[in-house]
Structure 1
Amino acid sequence: MTVPSPGAPPGSPAEDRDTAVAEESAAEPVAGADGGADGGGAEGAGGEGAEDEAKSAEAEAAQLSEAQAEIAAQRELRARIAQRKAEKEGPVPAGAKLSGQAADLLAAVRAMESGQAAPAAPVAPAAARAVPAAVDAAVPAQNRPRAPEPARAAPAAPTTAPGVVAAVGAVLADGGAPAALAPQVTAVLGERAGDALRADPWLLLSVPGVRPEQADGFARALLGDGCGPGDERRSAALVGWLLERAALQGHTALAFPAVRAALAERSVPDPDEALRHAIAEGAVLVFQDGADDIGEDAEDGTADGEGAEGAADGPAAPVLLGLDRYALAEESLADGLARLVKTTQEASWDEAAAQAPSPSAGELIRAVAGHGLVVHTGGEAARAEPVALAEAVRALGLRPVVAAHSENGRRRLGAGAVTVAGLLSGAEGPGRDADGALDLDVLVVLDAPQLDVETATTLVESLPDGARLVLGGDPGVLWSAGAGRVFADLLAARVCPQIASRTPDPGPLGELVSGIGIGELNQVEAPGKEVVIVPVRDAGEAVHRTVQLVADSVPRAIGVPSGQTQVITVGHGGAVGTRALNVALKERLNPGPGRFGGFDPDDRVAYVPAPGRTLTGAVVSADAEGLRLDCDGVPVVVPKELVESVVRHGWALTAHQAAGMRWPAAVVVLPGDAAQGLSRPWVYTAFGRGERHLSVVHGVDQVLAHAVAEVPAAERTTRLRTLLEGLLTPAV
């Protein structure tokens, strides 16, 4: 048995998630999981149709008891949410008005300021009997407060007693797994990881990168004949693994039949009993949003209610399974957004709206004047409208903050803008008031499609009473790398004003990308070589032409230096993935021995401080503290022990990594094996990254036009829209 070494390569939470031919995610899709986040469909899932018809009567009887278990779990969840809401509404001492992740952050900040030990952050286990994860701080690394310093330090690797790691290494060795995995196992399972693994070897599945067949081999080596495919420990771990894996694909929950079918494919002899056990143990929560209770209409557990024959009210709401972590985040986010919608704003900003630079900006100003939550949609040129809003708000004596997803996006907005991560950590922006809320009156968040559900929850929980929130972005781009589709769900719920910009992106590039957004791949006139198509026949030619474009053609013909041209491709692996392209581009543009852990000064890099967040920059130097980078003007120090896992060369990125960023020129590479990974949002995102020039290395023939016209965004199973519609009346 081979178990991967610790430290997944940097990028999105799932390596190669941008492509349907990804080495891992496409090989093992979650059955019936709506195709994953970016095109990984359910292969051979079979679903209910794959079950033997002779077992259908028995299955229906079993599902009745399933529904009873689901009812109890649903009631328990609702009681927890009701208690949480009651705590919000009850009297609280000063400084305790926040809840959830925002309250954890405030508690950690105050503990650090007073010199006390930071409180332990709650960590949702992968299974009910899992050992709580060891936490080296009270908040995620990207949210920890940082004192001002010349260079930003990357999050330090968690420290654990050497004896604990050695003990875990011994258990791993007994099970045939590499001892090098011990630090990662200990970080996930905690100080008692060694004992926990001996008692339940399938806990190894809670470590990122470990696959079920590897955990099975590890369990057989430790337990011998004492384990089998029906072991309750195995089935509970598999349920947690399936849902965690679905979260990497963007889902916050999965339909009941999808999980059941996936367990059957993993040779679980009785998937129904396995799910009953997982629900009883608290490893998974069950929901049927949009219904008062889980009743007879949903007893069959189908995702679309087809089993509810003759139901007077139409199809039953789907029965969903989810992890506590994402369930509470979506519940809290829905509650917070509803609070903003219900907040009465009676200001009159007509004069400011009349002086706005464009009609769309004026419309946005008027909407924000009267509402606590407003959604703004548009392309790159439309970003000027929320900026104009902020300027108008400031002139009225209020305190606005404009936040972008990335350092690249922040830089394009000009002085005063912040990143979402910097705002939440306190490293950027106004800081927090005495109650722990963000010290602002209006928060404008651009690149909102990149907000995952947990980040969005933290933002909303951090807003002070009476604040206004504007979420702006382009609905055509790829969704967040993390779980959820917050922006899309909020648009679909239609519970607040939606201002659509009428400011088009200019020039041939703007015309091309606008057409893609409505499903049309048009030929555009590009007299200044704004758009160039470079046909290629195979992978070798694609790599050669890409290097030639970046190193010679674009600088010579367009006047954009190589350092300002970004290559975008479908995935990390393969003959024309980011790895292969970065090797070729480094050899041509900055050859060197890689004396700093594989890097040389002036190497372009992609630094991933947290899953789903990519910073682009260049290597400056290295010393005893680590690798020193310049990320869009922000100095960063990456500790040497983290370099291998969070930094890779960055001449070439995936479209997911590039979302929310732009460069003077972009070279989009579409080799023949990329066809399955293409969709309209992918093409729209990739083609829109160039400000002045776009070169397309084209090797997919008519597949590109087909993807633009016929392949929409792969669906994600989420609950936010339904929750919002239950709390608020959708606007007509």
Structure 2
Amino acid sequence: MPESPPPAAPVTETVPADGGPDARLRSVLGALGAPEALAAPLAGALGPGAAEELRDDPWRLLALPQVTREQADYCARRALGADASPDDPRRGRALAARLLRHASREGHTAMEAKRLEEALRSMGVRSPSPALDAAVDGGDAVVFEVLPEGDDDIVGEGGEAAEMPDPDLFYAPPRLGRAEEQLGEALARLTAGGEPVMDSATAAESVQATDERLGLGIAPETTAALVSVALRTVCVLPHTEAGREAVGHVLECVAAMAAESEVGVAVTVPTAQGAAALNAAVPAAAARPLGQLLRDHSPAEPVPAGFVVVAEAMALGAELAAELARACADGTHIVLLADPANAPSAAPGQVVADIVASRTATVAPLPDSPAPGPLAQAAALVSGGELAEVEAPGKEVVTVPAASADEAAHRAVQLLTDSIPRAIGTAADATQIITSARGGEAGADALNTACKERLNPGPGALGGFDPGDRVLLTGRGPGYVPGDTGRLTGAADGGVEVELAGGAVVTVADPAHLRAGWAMTIAAAHGSRWEAVIAVFGPEARSSRPQVHTAITRAERHLSVVQAAGPALHEAVRDVPAIHRQTRLVSVLREA
């Protein structure tokens, strides 16, 4: 498609009389001077009325990420001639929607009006207000008023009531705006209707009994946290990688308290692989993957448990968190186990951080183990801003230097297929490659191609995949959520069958939900753990302290760090301590 051709006269498309919706859409695209190959993705983005929408508004092309602003403007000039204006509200609506979609891909759930207006002006929209109104009226955005944080004193000088500050305006994609509202409402409902499961003395006695029965050596800080869990309806239990022993103690004791109180417990992890790893480490957890829990429960059929415990809760995005909270019955106690040094979720939002910042939940930190192993020591160094070697007599942590992206990719495949199985005793099936990016010679896509050639070559008869391929699920479907991993077992009615980590089998009908899974990005790996992890940082890596921490804490037994980023990786760990996201959840929770 041309980028910036001269303006043309308006064009009237010829629509076939009996060609059906696809033919009509291709005809409209042709009249606009756009490739007919865009018909299928545009129909997916706009729905069955795509042809009519595009005929009335050529800037609807911007619903596709591959179409540039200049290309959409060219098509608008073809359709509208001299009436095509940079200030056309239809153009502004499309650009505002694109900006919000881009922000959501970066993890934000909302954009401040001032930032959104500034961005629109930079795109030639001289009057952003009509553009934003059009986005709201067209269903591409919702707008919220948020009172700025600051002085809570409502009394002014002389004892008179102080003037309320003007609210800030925020715009959000409708689904994300609804999710944060629903999450706030659900947590407020649980808090308002919640009662202690046990009094503090009984809870402490239950913990002591469990400690004596299992010989756990539970620390006083863990006991205090468990008393809070029994008393309060929403609890966040922060922990470090060195605090994973305390996480196990919490799971054992909550199961005991639930049994004694006859209220039941449900433990969930955002991914199937995460649940399988947790069950291997703490069999009493009986954890279920979040996708399967939400398949079976909803507000109409809530989770039958007095305690709902979420491990790896930093991986929980706003939409899934809202769905889970809404599926909890009145009186349920929600417990979030989270390592705050990890990155926020791959999906939009920063649920745990916002709940803590809102001061609407009880926060009870768990203690570190007095003798952390090499993996926990490496994580502690990174969380403190240092990327350094640790003593690892059992080869728990190994750094593999690489001079280029090509060498990094070669080393990663060699580690997966030969070195780790031979030297560590962990099979390739239990080892995961995690990369800082999808693209590039050392990115996930290139590594997946190399891994398939070595581990499961085939013709790709099932939409580019073969039975036995390791796959990553990137969309939402019955029984699975983005981030779930498994092995493709064959064709099924309406799609392909995938056996998830842990043994559950799901049918994936949408081919777009499947991606090769021998290698995946840090974001995709969030919430999961494997026996061994190969963390690959190529020369093009753009990273941060939370991302590096997330990558290295995916390993249960062995970590190989393939380092081709040089000093830039050390600088990222030292100089980029946090990932900023714009969300509304703090204000929603406080208002609720």
Q: TM-score range by the shorter chain?
A: 0.7 to 0.9
Matched, 1:490 2:355: yes
1:425 to 282, 287, 295: 295
Distance 1:515 1:355, change over 3 A: farther
Secondary structure (helix, strand or coil) at the match of 1:672 reads: coil
Higher relative contact order (CA 8 A, sep 6+): 1
AA matched with 1:582:
N
Q: How many Å apart are 1:684 and its aligned residue?
A: 0.2
Q: In the alignment, what sits opposite 1:332?
A: 182
Distance 1:198 1:337, change over 3 A: same
Asked if 1 retains the 8 angstrom alpha-carbon contact of 2:265 and 2:309, the reply is yes
Alignment of 1:442-591 (within 5 A): 442-504=307-369, 506-591=372-457
Secondary structure (helix, strand or coil) at the match of 1:355 reads: helix
Asked if 1 retains the 8 angstrom alpha-carbon contact of 2:487 and 2:498, the reply is yes
Asked if 2 retains the 8 angstrom alpha-carbon contact of 1:484 and 1:716, the reply is yes
Deviations 1:81-136 (A, max 9, x none): xxxxxxxxxxxxxxxxxxxxxxxxxxxxxxxxxxxxxxxxxxxxxxxxxxxxxxxx
Q: In the alignment, what sits opposite 2:208?
A: 354
Deviations 1:373-406 (A, max 9, x none): 1111223444314422133212321121111101
Secondary structure (helix, strand or coil) at the match of 1:340 reads: helix
Q: How many Å apart are 1:438 and its aligned residue?
A: 2.9
AA matched with 1:567:
I
Distance 1:329 1:624, change over 3 A: closer
Q: How many Å apart are 1:565 and its aligned residue?
A: 1.5
Asked if 1 retains the 8 angstrom alpha-carbon contact of 2:462 and 2:491, the reply is yes
AA matched with 2:364:
I
Asked if 1 retains the 8 angstrom alpha-carbon contact of 2:59 and 2:72, the reply is yes
AA matched with 1:636:
V
Asked if 2 retains the 8 angstrom alpha-carbon contact of 1:251 and 1:718, the reply is yes
Secondary structure (helix, strand or coil) at the match of 1:521 reads: coil
Deviations 1:51-108 (A, max 9, x none): xxxxxxxxxxxxxxxxxxxxxxxxxxxxxxxxxxxxxxxxxxxxxxxxxxxxxxxxxx
Secondary structure (helix, strand or coil) at the match of 2:410 reads: helix
| Aligned counterparts of 1:162 and 1:439: Cα–Cα separation in 2 | 52
Deviations 1:601-643 (A, max 9, x none): 332222223297122222333467543332212223334xx33
Distance 1:606 1:279, change over 3 A: closer
Distance 1:343 1:545, change over 3 A: same
Q: In the alignment, what sits opposite 1:699?
A: 564
| Aligned counterparts of 1:623 and 1:483: Cα–Cα separation in 2 | 32
| Aligned counterparts of 2:361 and 2:473: Cα–Cα separation in 1 | 36
Q: Runs of 5+ in structure 2 lacking a partner?
A: 4-17, 150-161, 212-217
Q: Which one is further off, 436-445 or 679-688?
A: 436-445
| Aligned counterparts of 1:705 and 1:320: Cα–Cα separation in 2 | 36
Asked if 2 retains the 8 angstrom alpha-carbon contact of 1:537 and 1:699, the reply is yes
Q: How many Å apart are 1:315 and its aligned residue?
A: 9.2
Alignment of 1:362-441 (within 5 A): 362-378=223-239, 379=241, 380-388=244-252, 389-414=254-279, 416-426=286-296, 431=297, 436-441=301-306
Matched, 1:636 2:491: no
Q: In the alignment, what sits opposite 2:534?
A: 667
Q: How many Å apart are 1:725 and its aligned residue?
A: 3.2
| Aligned counterparts of 2:395 and 2:534: Cα–Cα separation in 1 | 13
Deviations 1:168-195 (A, max 9, x none): 2322232233434434433443333222
Aligned length: 541
Q: Which one is further off, 181-190 or 532-541?
A: 181-190
| Aligned counterparts of 1:341 and 1:216: Cα–Cα separation in 2 | 51
Q: Which one is further off, 658-667 or 255-264?
A: 255-264
Distance 1:405 1:601, change over 3 A: same
Asked if 1 retains the 8 angstrom alpha-carbon contact of 2:235 and 2:334, the reply is yes
Matched, 1:649 2:503: no
1:613 to 448, 457, 482: 482
Asked if 1 retains the 8 angstrom alpha-carbon contact of 2:264 and 2:305, the reply is yes
Asked if 1 retains the 8 angstrom alpha-carbon contact of 2:346 and 2:526, the reply is no
| Aligned counterparts of 1:366 and 1:567: Cα–Cα separation in 2 | 39
Secondary structure (helix, strand or coil) at the match of 1:673 reads: coil
Matched, 1:592 2:458: yes
Q: TM-score if structure 2 supplies the norm length?
A: 0.84
Q: In the alignment, what sits opposite 2:158?
A: none
Distance 1:164 1:276, change over 3 A: closer
| Aligned counterparts of 2:2 and 2:372: Cα–Cα separation in 1 | 53
Asked if 2 retains the 8 angstrom alpha-carbon contact of 1:364 and 1:385, the reply is no
| Aligned counterparts of 1:500 and 1:507: Cα–Cα separation in 2 | 20
Asked if 2 retains the 8 angstrom alpha-carbon contact of 1:447 and 1:474, the reply is yes
| Aligned counterparts of 2:19 and 2:250: Cα–Cα separation in 1 | 51
| Aligned counterparts of 1:283 and 1:597: Cα–Cα separation in 2 | 32
| Aligned counterparts of 2:19 and 2:429: Cα–Cα separation in 1 | 43
| Aligned counterparts of 1:282 and 1:605: Cα–Cα separation in 2 | 34
Distance 1:316 1:603, change over 3 A: same
Matched, 1:720 2:585: yes
